[in-house]
Amino acid sequence: MPGHAAQAVAPGTPAGQVLKAVEALGGNGDAPAVAAKLNGALIDLNRSVQAGGTLEPVLASSDEGREILRHTAAHVMAQAVKELFPKAKLAIGPAIADGFYYDFDVDRPFTPEDLEKIEAAMAKVVAANYPLVREEVPRAEALRLFEGLNEPYKVELVRDLPEGATISLYRQGDYVDLCAGPHLTSTGKVKAYKLLSGAGAYWRGDEKNPMLQRIYGTAFESKELLEDHLFKLEEAKRRDHRRLGKDLDLFSIHEEAGTGLIFWHPKGALVREIIENFWRQEHRRRGYDIVYSPHIARVELWKISGHWDWYKENMYSPMAVDEQEFMLKPMNCPFHIMMYKDQLRSYRDLPLRWGELGTVYRYERSGVLHGLLRVRGFTQDDAHIFCRPDQLSDEIMGVLDLCKFMMQSFGYKDYEVHLSVRDPLNKQKYAGTEDVWQAAEAALVAAMDAHQMSYVVDEGEAKFYGPAIDIKVKDALGRGWQGPTIQADFNLPERFGMTYIGEDGKEHRPVMIHRTVLGSMERFFGGLIEHYAGAFPVWLAPVQVRIMPITDGQLPYCQEVAEKFCAAGLRAEVDKRNEKIGFKIREAQLQKIPYMLVVGNREMESGQVAVRSREKGDEGAAAVEDVLRRVQEEAAARR
């Protein structure tokens, strides 16, 4: 074991005992080992160790450990389902990011009452504490077994296993499943679990296949962690941007106008304006120029760009204008290329960095639309950088730096960097030649290396025209969101025949970088609402200060105070309604206004206001000027 002296044990000793022997187990009762790793390969604790090697415990609290216990929980659930619904056919039941699921072929969907019954049946399986027994069998035997059990999906899975693969079964009581493992050693070790929801899901994710019924659940190594997780789910519901969008009067969507189209109400529009102004200012500072381009263009343009061939299913049908066909733009890039080509470019002109808050329209299947996060019309914070090949790496670094700065400004602290590359098995899905793709990929990698950024490679995640750096940001609840994306593109410059005149007086091909930092104003705003739970920091808050008189007698004074704040560039308003102060405070608090200033006769006479902050509550009286300065400083610091 790492960090321990070599131990000699008899061949055939179970892994768990070996671990115990070196006292790695039981040291931390909250996080006992759920499995082991022998020379890096995961094995069950009760599997015997036949030969020497490095043996490490896999703790329940580790990602791998949770995956194992969730996987076992999925088996427990499947056993419970089989008891209640003997005709249910098993499909697959893996562990996923925050839990597990299992797909079943049954004649009707599971109801919430079914889930309760299944959960109760799971408790019995857990109480019975069946040992999970691993068994390795030849393919023919596995086929015979699952055919005999009338489990057609399992049969299909066995058939599809590659030649020479180890086929293992796990049994618990009278339940048997095809599974690579590892698993907990007995069902009694599944301590804290909860079934969450049922939903339809296609066999193997393909809509041509039969629809199965999926049950989602989650499991943790302790009740406390499960409770925490369930609380987080509640919290996520409480923060839902669709709910907050309504409560805070930020945006709406209208059936009459069409689904997936966003109406930005004054308060939402104000937040957007602040974000956009900040965005423009920061881009100018970093050497970007800002441009505008049309919303429609002739079909010919989309044929040159390749969108017509590669992106058609996401574009709206052409509309006839005179004798021409025009299309609503799904992307801004061809327009920026038009502008590039409007004159002869010299190597001295490059790089050109052109940003646009460009509104695009994409057809999305109705089932995927979701609040602000998935819509049919949206404004991208798009930019295209045209540069020489030798500038590519530096430009990407510049973009990475900008991304970091923007994410920080909006309070996103953690992020993960992904390199999205082609699906190696399906290369014909992508435009452009092999060497062009490789060059683009190399440029992205070089920039990330220069930035000493660690990243994970996602195969098959690339767009049709080039590999990308995709940054996933984590919000206040630890949930991942699609953040900035950066793509190197050698393909469009080629298609459009873009050139610049080099030092040598000859024509050269520029490289193009597509990048977006926020993604789209819609999606970014949706994420931001949830990240801040609607309580925007002062610099973003649509109303920063609400001044509330105790009685009508202080109204004129309140108005004066409000004018002072407004004159200082702050967003302040007076609650003139004939209501008691408690009521006004409640409303302001529910509207998540950062500063509430209460004014009674005491404050009016002393030229003060009583400060009540959204976070801390009543903070006592202070001079108007002091409060004004405080709010101003907070806004300027973007805290």
Partner RNA sequence: GCUCACGUAGCUCAGUCGGUAGAGCGCGUCCUUGGUAAGGACGAGGUCACCAGUUCAAUCCUGGUCGUGAGCUCCA
Q: Which is nearer to RNA, 93 or 519 (CB)?
A: 519
Q: Are 126 and 73 in contact (CB under 8 A)?
A: no
Query: How far is 471 from 473, CA to CA, in rounded Å?
Result: 6
Least Cα distance to 252 among 104, 375, 94, 430 occurs for 375
Q: Which is nearer to RNA, 305 or 485 (CB)?
A: 485
**Residue carrying the six token digits 């190399």:** 442
Token pair for 569: 């560039």
Terminal Cα distance for the chain, rounded:
47
Q: What is the smallest separation between the CB atom of 246 and RNA, expressed in angstroms?
A: 6
Q: Are 376 and 364 in contact (CB under 8 A)?
A: yes
Token pair for 388: 């020489």
Query: How far is 568 from 250, CA to CA, in rounded Å?
Result: 25
Q: What is the smallest separation between the CB atom of 60 and RNA, expressed in angstroms?
A: 25
Q: What is the smallest separation between the CB atom of 234 and RNA, expressed in angstroms?
A: 14
Q: Are 507 and 499 in contact (CB under 8 A)?
A: yes
- Positive or negative, the CA dihedral 285, 286, 292, 295 is negative
CA dihedral 183, 185, 186, 189 (to 10 degrees): -80
- Per DSSP, 60 falls in state T
Determine how many CB atoms are found less than 10 A away from the CB of residue 323.
5
Say whether 338 sits in a helix, a strand or coil: helix
Q: Are 543 and 593 in contact (CB under 8 A)?
A: yes
Q: Which residues bind RNA (CB under 7 A)?
A: 109, 197, 199-202, 205, 207, 211, 214, 242, 246, 253, 255, 258-260, 362, 364-371, 373-376, 378, 380, 463, 482, 485, 516, 519-520, 522-523, 550-553, 578-583, 585-586, 589-590, 596, 598-603, 610, 612, 617-618, 621
Q: Which is nearer to RNA, 356 or 603 (CB)?
A: 603
Token pair for 105: 């072929």
Q: What is the smallest separation between the CB atom of 377 and RNA, expressed in angstroms?
A: 8
Q: Which is nearer to RNA, 183 or 194 (CB)?
A: 194
Q: Where are the alpha helices (DSSP H) in 344-454?
A: 392-409, 434-450
Q: Which is nearer to RNA, 122 or 244 (CB)?
A: 244
Q: Which is nearer to RNA, 104 or 500 (CB)?
A: 104
Bond before 86 cis per omega within 30 degrees: no
Q: Are 555 and 518 in contact (CB under 8 A)?
A: no
Q: What is the smallest separation between the CB atom of 463 and RNA, expressed in angstroms?
A: 5
Helix (H) or strand (E) holding 160: helix 152-160
Q: What is the smallest separation between the CB atom of 172 and RNA, expressed in angstroms?
A: 26
Q: Which is nearer to RNA, 289 or 579 (CB)?
A: 579
Distance, CA of 569 to chain centre: 35
Q: What is the smallest separation between the CB atom of 146 and RNA, expressed in angstroms?
A: 23
Q: What is the smallest separation between the CB atom of 44 and RNA, expressed in angstroms?
A: 28
Query: How far is 198 from 217, CA to CA, in rounded Å?
Result: 9
Q: Which is nearer to RNA, 325 or 364 (CB)?
A: 364
Q: Which is nearer to RNA, 229 or 242 (CB)?
A: 242
Bridging pattern class, strands 289-290 and 352-361: parallel
Q: What is the smallest separation between the CB atom of 183 and RNA, expressed in angstroms?
A: 23
Q: Which is nearer to RNA, 19 or 91 (CB)?
A: 91
Q: What is the smallest separation between the CB atom of 388 and RNA, expressed in angstroms?
A: 26
Token pair for 372: 């602000």
Query: How far is 337 from 66, CA to CA, in rounded Å?
Result: 49
Q: What is the smallest separation between the CB atom of 465 and RNA, expressed in angstroms?
A: 10
Q: Which is nearer to RNA, 257 or 566 (CB)?
A: 257
Query: How far is 27 from 17, CA to CA, in rounded Å?
Result: 14
Q: What is the smallest separation between the CB atom of 630 and RNA, expressed in angstroms?
A: 16
Q: What is the smallest separation between the CB atom of 381 and RNA, expressed in angstroms?
A: 9
Determine how many CB atoms are found less than 10 A away from the CB of residue 521.
23
173: exposed, middle or buried (C-beta count within 10 Å: 0-12, 13-18, 19+)? middle
Q: Are 145 and 202 in contact (CB under 8 A)?
A: no
Q: Are 293 and 328 in contact (CB under 8 A)?
A: no
Q: What is the smallest separation between the CB atom of 460 and RNA, expressed in angstroms?
A: 8
637: exposed, middle or buried (C-beta count within 10 Å: 0-12, 13-18, 19+)? exposed
Q: What is the smallest separation between the CB atom of 355 and RNA, expressed in angstroms?
A: 15
Query: How far is 169 from 136, CA to CA, in rounded Å?
Result: 6
Q: Which is nearer to RNA, 146 or 378 (CB)?
A: 378
Q: Which is nearer to RNA, 189 or 376 (CB)?
A: 376
Q: Which is nearer to RNA, 154 or 214 (CB)?
A: 214
Q: Which is nearer to RNA, 246 or 341 (CB)?
A: 246
Instruction: From residue 317, give the alpha-carbon distance in Å to each of 10, 240, 429, 463, 585.
Output: 72, 33, 22, 21, 51
